[in-house]
Amino acid sequence: MTERDDSKMEALESQVRGLKDLIEVAKAVVSTLDLDTVLQAILTSAMGFAETPAGSVALYYDSKRELSLHAHAGLTSAFVKTERWTVTPGGLTEQVLKAGEIFFIEDTETTSFFNNPIALNEGIRSLVCVPLVFQSRIMGILYLDDFVPRQFDREKLNLLAILASFAAMAIHNATLHKRTKLMAITDSLTGLHNHRYFKQYFRQEMARAKRYHKPFSIIMMDVDDFKSFNDSFGHANGDNMLRVLGGVLMDTVRGVDVAFRYGGEEFIVLLPETRLEKAILAAERLRAAIQTGTAGKMSGPAGAGVTVSIGVASYPENADKTDELFNIVDSLLYRAKRCGKNKVYHQESLLIPTP
């Protein structure tokens, strides 16, 4: 066998090894429907395949021209603390998005258009940017980074493009799965979580509060005179009012709190690690926000708004069992309705200090 034949054989064997590696990578990225797991698998596999010590995956939102960091490895906390960023005109990411093809830089210090101060401070000297494209839509970008200048194997870059196709398909499937799961636990009218998810989440959070000896509160509210509102303005406007109210709830609760449409015109907010005093303040904020936030928001009945009656209860102050806590907050809600409406009720005696 001649030297030329040996060279061809080595090249062929290298291609076969690359394809075998690619198959293993493809298996990894399509083996789950959990989006975060998919993204981490894509990153880990691609870094191993390209032999880079660092990298990240960012999802792309075309409507906002924005990227969101979802997976990273080998990078400092200072680098990854920026979780969202917009596309810089003329920058590297914009070039990748426009071309829709793999883009690489073998030395950032000799590349005139590369002027990302965060990446330069990180010490990134070479990188590969891989657009993750599914059905002509860019789902995200895979960044593979090295801290020394280097020449990238063109053959591996070609195989990396195939990996990117698998990765984009996996992201699409995982995103679709996540959306479908979310629809199953979401009330279609208000966009809040639904009754079924409330039952699951309530027991889960109550158990967590007991296990870690943390406080936990529940706010339950009911729209005042909603039947009269429907009779006066029609069911379509009634539905629209519930939709507006759901938006007010989402805008008013904290990020750690979870809001539900319990049924009809009843709503619930769960407040993890929140004592009764803080929960009462939160309930008052919600009551006031709903009274002002629903007024003037209707397309038909100008100026028409609604008020809510609210009950508040907490673990461990009011009860230490799930059903008991729910029954207490439910009774407090209806006490608020019987005693004038547009009020917040709680077990006041528990807040009065002993003389």
Residue the block writes with tokens 């609604």: 306
Could you report how far apart the first and last alpha carbons of the chain are, in Å?
102
CA–CA distance, 325 with 316 (Å, rounded to integer): 9
CA–CA distance, 136 with 100 (Å, rounded to integer): 9
Closest CA relative to residue 44, chosen from 61, 59, 60, 24? 24
**C-alpha Rg value of the chain to the nearest Å:** 28
Which of 155, 265, 273, 317 is flagged as catalytic? 265
109 carries an active-site annotation? no
CA–CA distance, 60 with 31 (Å, rounded to integer): 22
CA–CA distance, 272 with 236 (Å, rounded to integer): 34
Q: How many CB atoms lie within 10 A of CB 67?
A: 22
Contact 276, 284 (CB under 8 A): no
Query: In the chain, which residue ranges form alpha helices assigned H by DSSP?
Result: 3-29, 35-50, 77-80, 92-99, 117-122, 154-184, 195-212, 226-233, 235-252, 276-293, 322-338
- Listed in sequence order, the residues at least 6 apart from 162 whose beta carbon sits closer than 8 Å to its beta carbon are 22
Residues catalogued as catalytic:
265
